[in-house]
Structure formats: C-alpha cells, structure tokens
Amino acid sequence: MKKIQLLFGILVLVLMSSCSFTEEITINPDGSGEFIMSYDMSTMLRTIQEAEGKKRDLNKKMSAPVDSVLYYNDLIIGKQDSISKLPLEEQDKIKKLKDIILKIKMNEATNEMIMGFGSTFTTIEDLPNALERINSAKAISNKDNPQYDKMNESAIAKSSEGALEHVTFTYKNNTFSRIYTAPENDEEKEQTTTDIEDVNAEISEMGDAFKEAFDLMTYNIIYHFPKKITSTTHKDAVISEDGKTLTLKLKFLELIENPDISSLNVFLEQ
C-alpha cells in the first residue's frame, strides 16, 4: 500500500500544477467501460524552464520512459491473504479501491509527464458512483499526506475536481449525451461565481510565468465508442479516421466560466 500512496502523492502534485486535463471515457459493446481523468503537466514544466532560463544538462543520465496502467483490483487479488488479516474497517477501505485505475506516462527526454486516475463502470448511469469511488480512494490514500490538504485548498484543483458536478451522461438508443445543467438555486449560483473569482485570483497571485501557462491550459474530452459515429452536435468536435473516437479540445478557463460549452450529443450507427 505504501507504493500506492506514493503514486497518489505524485498525482496530488500534478493536480496542483497541471496544464491540461483530459476526460476520457471508453464504452464497451455491453455498455460497461472506464472513465479516466488525466493530468498533463508537460507544458507547465517546459514553460517554467523557459521562464527561468534553465537548460537541460545533456550529460545527465535520464530515467527510462514509463508507460503503464495499474488496475488496483489486480493488486488486491494478489494480496488477499495479507488483506484478510487486517481489521475489517481497513479491509473495507481497501476494497473501495478495487475499481480504481491509475495510468502513468513519463518521459524525461521529452519533458512528458501525464498521469491518469479513474474507475471502471458497469453502465454509463453508474458513472456518478464511479466518480464517488475515485474521490473516496483519493481521500483514503492521501489522508496522511500534507500535500493532499494543499490540493484541497487550491481553487484551480477544486475547479478541475468539480468540472463534472452538474454534468449528466446518458447512453441509449445509439446516442451518447454529455449535458451540463446549470445550478438553479441562488446558493449554488453564488458559489459558482465565487469559484470563478477564486480561480482568477489564485492565478494572478502566482505571477506572470504561471499566468501564461494557465492561459494555455486545456480541458480535453476523448470518447471511445464500440460503433462508428455518424454525427455530433458539437461543431468543434473531431471524429477519428476509424470513426469510433470523438475528441474535443476546450480552453480550461473558458470551461470554468461557461461549462455549457462542453455539452454535446454523439449519434452512432444503428
């Protein structure tokens, strides 16, 4: 579990300084699938290095590239004997991690660092529960990590974590929908305005080098379907050559101020 906590700790640091977020959903023929939210701090690293005038030491030995996917259920199955000896409360906490997925891609030579965190789901209607499992897993694994508290205090991290708060996903009759519904009560409306103001204030406090990086920050949507896409309602969405993947690139700060720009319908072959 220490290795798992270390990976979560690294993810927390990425969350606090990421330059792009990628919401990726893969749907299988039976309607099940997986949700992954990836955090890319590659651009941030390059921007900071350029701003500070730093150059890579060519004589320095680089670490080997990493490109892996970790399914926590596989770890749990391999540690059943050890887990069964723990108190029941601890066993329950570990079992909550069973649907969690962690993706890591790091390449020092190209300044690439991408980490994805997600969960599997049985149907798209189960996705809200999957998101709850993800949040629970983060809290469990970072309860003794001081960086986790710092992340919770970050307005930018909060806004990325809350990007799906008012989003509904449906998948039926060969139609996939991602619809944002604006909050209706005054309290939620006021909170939304406050969140936007907090994000802008936080960015201003970080200085010019960071402002440039945050202006470049993107929120990417990538959806993989089991059938070919016939059309979509979003004018900026791009369909892959094989017709089964939809990609949409949005500016993160624009998304925070106007979440409805992420709403779309995707129509698939019958």
pLDDT in tens, 117-149: 888 899 998 888 877 777 766 666 555 555 445
Integer Cα distance of 81 and 4 in angstroms: 18
Tell me what pLDDT residue 82 has.
Answer: 82
pTM of the predicted structure, to 2 decimals: 0.77
51-55, 153-157, 194-198: the lowest-pLDDT one = 51-55
Q: Tokens 């540690």 — which residue?
A: 79
Tell me what pLDDT residue 13 has.
Answer: 46
43-57, 201-215, 223-237: the lowest-pLDDT one = 43-57
pLDDT in tens, 41-61: 776 556 555 655 555 555 556
Residue 52's nearest CA partner among 201, 212, 218 is 212
**β-bridge partners, 180:** 167
pLDDT in tens, 77-94: 777 888 788 888 877 777
More confident residue, 105 or 186: 105
Tell me what pLDDT residue 9 has.
Answer: 47
Q: In the predicted model, what is the mean pLDDT of residues 182-211?
A: 70
Q: Could you tell me what percent of the chain has a pLDDT over 70?
A: 68
Tell me what pLDDT residue 162 has.
Answer: 61
Instruction: Report CA torsion sign: 163, 167, 171, 173.
Output: negative
Q: In the predicted model, what is the mean pLDDT of residues 140-161?
A: 58
55-59, 82-86, 171-175, 179-183: the lowest-pLDDT one = 55-59
Q: In the predicted model, what is the mean pLDDT of residues 244-248?
A: 98
More confident residue, 62 or 89: 89
Tell me what pLDDT residue 134 has.
Answer: 76
Tell me what pLDDT residue 8 has.
Answer: 47
Q: Could you tell me what percent of the chain has a pLDDT over 90?
A: 27
Q: In what order do the strands lie in the sheet containing 112-121?
A: 66-71, 100-107, 112-121, 33-40, 20-27, 218-224, 245-251, 238-239
Look up residue 192 and give its amino acid. Answer: T
More confident residue, 185 or 49: 185
Tell me what pLDDT residue 129 has.
Answer: 80
Tell me what pLDDT residue 103 has.
Answer: 84
Could you tell me if 44 and 132 are in contact, meaning their C-beta atoms sit under 8 angstroms apart?
A: no
